[in-house]
């Protein structure tokens, strides 16, 4: 009944409500952007192991995180391949070294990842690079992320002059969105090239990534591998993912910091909406009382407030959405990852909607408690 009246009040007092819209939009924008950083950070922590379509991982023991593994003899590769239930396995080398920037001679930290591209375990690195396998096998052939080209001082494919671990390297293809969460850049090559760049013995590897045969139970295959490789550690893929993610989340403190920031931005949004509505309601109490005296129920006045809240929230969500879209575009060319899964966006918007609804409750209580007789007071 009073929907049009609510909208008219909103339009009439738009400067005041614009403040509420802006405050809510900024809070929602911050909350979602920080969530994007958080999920981007979590994705990038495990982006390397998660890019392998492996069911199991074999490593030396003990292992704290994917990034710091001790090497072991690749004789285990043939043992793993002959284990019942194993369809394919690839040798993986992963360690940090230095990249010498061509021309300038400066140094950058890189994580070298080497694997067998034709071993039968799919790995999502440079999928769109033609003739990927032979390019990776070429002496010094490496893949780097297109976002990192400027930092690593390369502008085109096959550019000479770079060195990895003191050995000549040249980019043979670009990776897409395979950026590490830390200060190092990812360099991908085949396992033999990687050993040379990392100065590892010719039989050393850090991992075996194992793909089980169709229908095979990964837990049973893991048990069989543990029996055949008792000196090594066998991880199921999900546990391996969690091991690395938990390690970095705990060690860096970034996770609680981003979580706290998200929470604080929600609180700011809540307070903005709460104060705006409470103050605007307080200013109009005598008018609301007069409306009640003239026959309006508390529900009528409540509808009026809810309509205003819905418009403020919808406008704020649209504004925040536009801002977020612009921010995601702006961050696309930077090393910072913004990852916003649809459930997170829906959850963020839902949470802010809930905060707005709660912020409106004191105003509704005030209206409900206002007696129509208040209209007779000044």
Instruction: Tell the smallest beta-carbon distance from residue 375 to other proteins (Å).
Output: 5
Rounded least distance, CB 303 to other proteins, Å? 11
Distance CA 23, CA 281 (A): 18
> Smaller CB distance to other proteins: residue 168 or 297?
297
Q: What is the largest CA-CA distance in the chain?
A: 94
336 binds other proteins (CB under 8 A): no
Q: Are strands 233-236 and 56-59 parallel, antiparallel or unpaired?
A: antiparallel
Query: What DSSP string describes 29-46?
Result: HHHHHHHHHHHHHHHHHT
Binders of other proteins in range 263-302 (CB under 8 A): 286-287, 289-291, 293-297, 300
**212 φ/ψ sector (left φ>0, alpha ψ -120 to 50, else beta):** beta
Q: Using the Cα atoms of residue 195, residue 199, residue 201 and residue 206 in order, give the sign of their dihedral.
A: negative
Rule CB under 8 A: say whether 378 interacts with other proteins. Answer: yes
The size of the chain, in residues, is 378
Check residue 9 for interaction with other proteins (CB under 8 A).
Answer: yes
Determine contact, residues 119/88, Cβ cutoff 8 Å: yes
- 15 makes contact with other proteins (CB under 8 A): no
Q: Which of 8, 267, 318, 330 binds other proteins (CB under 8 A)?
A: 8
Q: 208: which strand partners? A: 58, 91
CB of 1 to other proteins, least distance (A): 6
CB of 328 to other proteins, least distance (A): 38
Answer whether 186's CB lies under 8 Å from 113's CB. Answer: yes
CB of 291 to other proteins, least distance (A): 6
Q: Which is nearer to other proteins, 216 or 375 (CB)?
A: 375
The number of residues that bind other proteins (CB under 8 A) is 26
Q: Decide if residue 372 touches other proteins (CB under 8 A).
A: yes
**Per rule CB under 8 A, is residue 107 in the interface with other proteins?**
no
Burial of 112 (0-12, 13-18, 19+ CB in 10 A): buried
Choose one: 118-126, 239-247, 338-346, 365-373; the region binding other proteins (CB under 8 A). Answer: 365-373
Give the chain's radius of gyration (CA, Å).
29
The Cα–Cα gap between 33 and 220 comes to 42
Residues contacting residue 365 through CB under 8 Å, at least 6 positions apart: none
Range in contact with other proteins (rule: CB under 8 A) among 22-30, 41-49, 230-238, 366-374: 366-374
From residue 48 to residue 77, the character string flagging contacts with other proteins as x (rule: CB under 8 A) and all else as - is ------------------------------
Binding positions for other proteins, rule: CB under 8 A: 1-2, 5, 8-13, 286-287, 289-291, 293-297, 300, 371-373, 375-376, 378
């Amino acid at each position: 009944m009073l929907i049009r009246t609510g909208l008219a009040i909103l339009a009439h007092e738009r400067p005041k409500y614009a403040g509420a819209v802006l405050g809510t939009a900024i809070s929602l924008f911050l909350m979602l952007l920080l969530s994007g950083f958080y999920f981007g950070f979590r994705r990038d922590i495990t982006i390397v192991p998660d890019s392998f379509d492996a069911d199991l991982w074999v490593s030396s023991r003990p292992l704290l995180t994917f990034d710091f593994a001790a090497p072991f003899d690749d004789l285990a590769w043939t043992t793993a391949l002959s284990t019942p239930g194993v369809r394919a396995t690839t040798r993986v080398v992963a360690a940090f070294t230095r990249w010498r920037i061509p021309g300038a001679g400066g140094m950058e930290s890189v994580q070298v990842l080497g694997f067998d591209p034709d071993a039968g375990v799919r790995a999502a690195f440079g999928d769109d690079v033609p003739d990927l396998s032979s390019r990776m096998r070429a002496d010094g052939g490496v893949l780097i992320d297109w976002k990192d080209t400027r930092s690593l001082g390369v502008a085109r494919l096959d550019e000479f002059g770079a060195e990895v671990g003191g050995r000549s390297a040249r980019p043979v293809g670009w990776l897409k969105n395979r950026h590490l969460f830390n200060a190092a850049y990812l360099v991908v090559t085949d396992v033999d090239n990687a050993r040379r760049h990392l100065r590892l013995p010719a039989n050393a590897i850090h991992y075996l990534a194992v793909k089980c045969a169709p229908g095979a139970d990964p837990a049973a295959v893991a048990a069989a591998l543990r029996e055949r490789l008792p000196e090594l550690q066998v991880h199921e893929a999900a546990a391996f993912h969690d091991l690395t993610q938990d390690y970095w989340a705990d060690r860096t403190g970034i996770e609680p910091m981003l979580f706290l920031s998200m929470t604080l931005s929600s609180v700011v949004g809540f307070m903005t909406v709460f104060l705006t509505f409470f103050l605007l309601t307080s200013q109009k109490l005598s008018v609301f009382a007069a409306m009640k005296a003239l026959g309006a129920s508390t529900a009528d006045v409540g509808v009026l407030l809810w309509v205003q809240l819905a418009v403020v929230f919808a406008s704020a969500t649209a504004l925040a959405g536009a801002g977020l879209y612009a921010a995601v575009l702006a961050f696309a060319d930077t090393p910072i990852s913004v990852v916003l899964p649809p459930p997170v966006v829906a959850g963020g918007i839902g949470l802010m909607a809930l905060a707005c609804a709660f912020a409106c409750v004191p105003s509704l209580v005030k209206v409900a408690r206002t007696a129509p007789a208040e209209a007779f007071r000044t």
